[in-house]
Chain A
Amino acid sequence: MSVKSMICIVCPVGCHVSIDDNHTVTGNRCKRGETYAIKEVTNPTRMITSTVKIKSNLTTRLSVKTSEPIAKTLIFEVMDALNSVEMQAPVSTDDVVIKNVLDTGIDILATRTILE
């Protein structure tokens, strides 16, 4: 049986967890560690944070994030999608920047309020 070791990144504690072929997880301090380890060997996902262009008197960049973690394999395609967007102030935190990015059901949201 093979055992995969990894560091859980759900929270800053960073538990050193191990997962075997039967998806038995050890070393986790909370339930979230087990969920994370199983996900990492089946369908790893990541939050993506970046910026897009914005027309504003205050700044040229608007910080954004995915509304939830997105498949790790799609990271660079999402980055390409963000490069084609230009927003116009006013924008508020949680405003949708791209709806349903790459047909994932996940949105790109603003993480900053830029009023002018």
Chain B
Amino acid sequence: MERNEGETMNVDIVVIGGGASGLAAALSAKDETNSVIVLEREHVLGGILNQCIHNGFGLHVFREELTGPEYASRFIEKFHAENIDYKLDTTVLSINKPDDCFIVEAYNNEDGALTIHAKAVILSSGCYERTRGQIKLPGARVAGIMPAGSAQRYLNIDGYLAGKDVFILGSGDIGLIMARRMTLEGAKVHGVAELMPYSNGLTRNIVQCLHDFDIPLYLSHTVTDIKGTKRLEEITIQEVDENYQPIAGTEKKFSVDTLLLSVGLVPDTMVFESMDLTLSPITKGAIVDHTYQSNIPGIFACGNALHVHDLVDWVTIESEKAGASAKRYVAGEIKEERNNLTIEPREGIRYTVPQSIDMNNFKEPVTVMFRVTNKYDVGTFTVKQGDTIIQQKKARFIAPAEMESLMIKPEQLIDQTTPITIELEVK
């Protein structure tokens, strides 16, 4: 790595974010011939895994059950062993590509303003939680209402219990995990309300976090009123109809001091605001081809910054692929001219990642991750080109909360131009 006048650095690959995704991407991007730097905004590597102290991580990658910090440390140790460059407490301010090289502007207290020139950028900055404003929660604007992940950080990193009488809106995994966690630490969790007729969390979390502690789950319910003067004092929940509208007469009131929101995560792509990065309206992350390259040549995306995952194992596997692609890109091994064959979600499928296969660089089988739109016991995923079925896969206990995947091989395609479609058939 070269340093010019102590403030401008030249590297091959900049990795934005040093959590599960960035660590895996950097490890697979680095070789003897290139230079890689990871920029991390927190004081430690590991990202959100550090506050996810519960176990259940690593069953697919390590064939054992680890806690979040243990999973992170496996990668942090490898990362240090490889001597990959990194900067902590560093915030990326902007990314631009005025000519053939990226200019990453960043800041930290030690270096001050930093300018990094890079050939490729890997976006692995994770996701953020949807807040009260984003779901238009009605009622008083009082203290004690916060995203579940914030309460998780206060408790597991800082050592503060956010409240004593808790209600949780949304049955996403963080909400379920926090229901158990706050119960263990002495809070009374009065219930979890979920707008949908099914939970958005993993089944095992419903069992381990709610059933184990007799915490009621109110499906097809939402919070319709919030009362309090300074601190939250009372919430009202109501059942909703099929159009998600509250049904009169179904009001239930709970005296609580804390309302945790577990109402969805959104990929964090804000550092690319200055560039014309094409985002998917569904995933809110970049649209990528099978090399995880976005519409902007040299920008690769992976992990929760690309689409929100339910298991960190899939983040790792995906980010390793994105890192390997970035390495090939800077080595000139990915053909610049692209010929994208789209993968289109059809009946029963919400989205796919990647959204296309670049036929000019398609040699190895490609794993397509996707989510379904509804919950079914059994179904068949059918991959087609036009009317021709190129692959079918049966699945059981299909749910929007659980990511599905299938593999498309080069030899399966009937031609290079007919878009690939994936649909779900249920009996």
Interface residues of A, Cβ cutoff 8 Å to B? 6-7, 9, 11-16, 46-51, 53, 58-61, 63, 65, 72, 75-76, 79, 93, 111-113
Contact = CB atoms under 8 A, between A and B. Distances in A.
B107 to A, nearest CB: 22
B397 A111 contact: no
A112 B69 contact: yes
B54 A49 contact: yes
Given A75-B184, A79-B184, A93-B73, A51 B59 contact: no
A112 B50 contact: yes
B212 interface: yes
A9 B204 contact: yes
Interface string B307-321: 000110000000000
Interface size bracket, B side:
20 to 34
A9 B207 contact: yes
Contacts of A60: 158-159
B182 to A, nearest CB: 12
Interface in B173-211: 184-186, 202-204, 206-208
6 contacts: A7-B204, A9-B208, A12-B202, A51-B159, A61-B156, A63-B67
A48 B184 CA distance: 9
Interface of B: 43-44, 50, 53-56, 59, 65, 67-70, 73, 155-159, 184-186, 202-204, 206-208, 212, 310-311, 397, 402
A15 to B, nearest CB: 8
B140 to A, nearest CB: 32
Contacts of B155: 51
B67 A65 contact: yes
A78 to B, nearest CB: 9
B204 A63 contact: no
B409 to A, nearest CB: 25
A62 to B, nearest CB: 9
A12 B53 contact: no
Contacts of B402: 12
Contacts of B212: 46, 72
A41 to B, nearest CB: 14
Given A7-B207, A12-B204, A60-B158, A111 B53 contact: yes
A61 B153 CA distance: 11
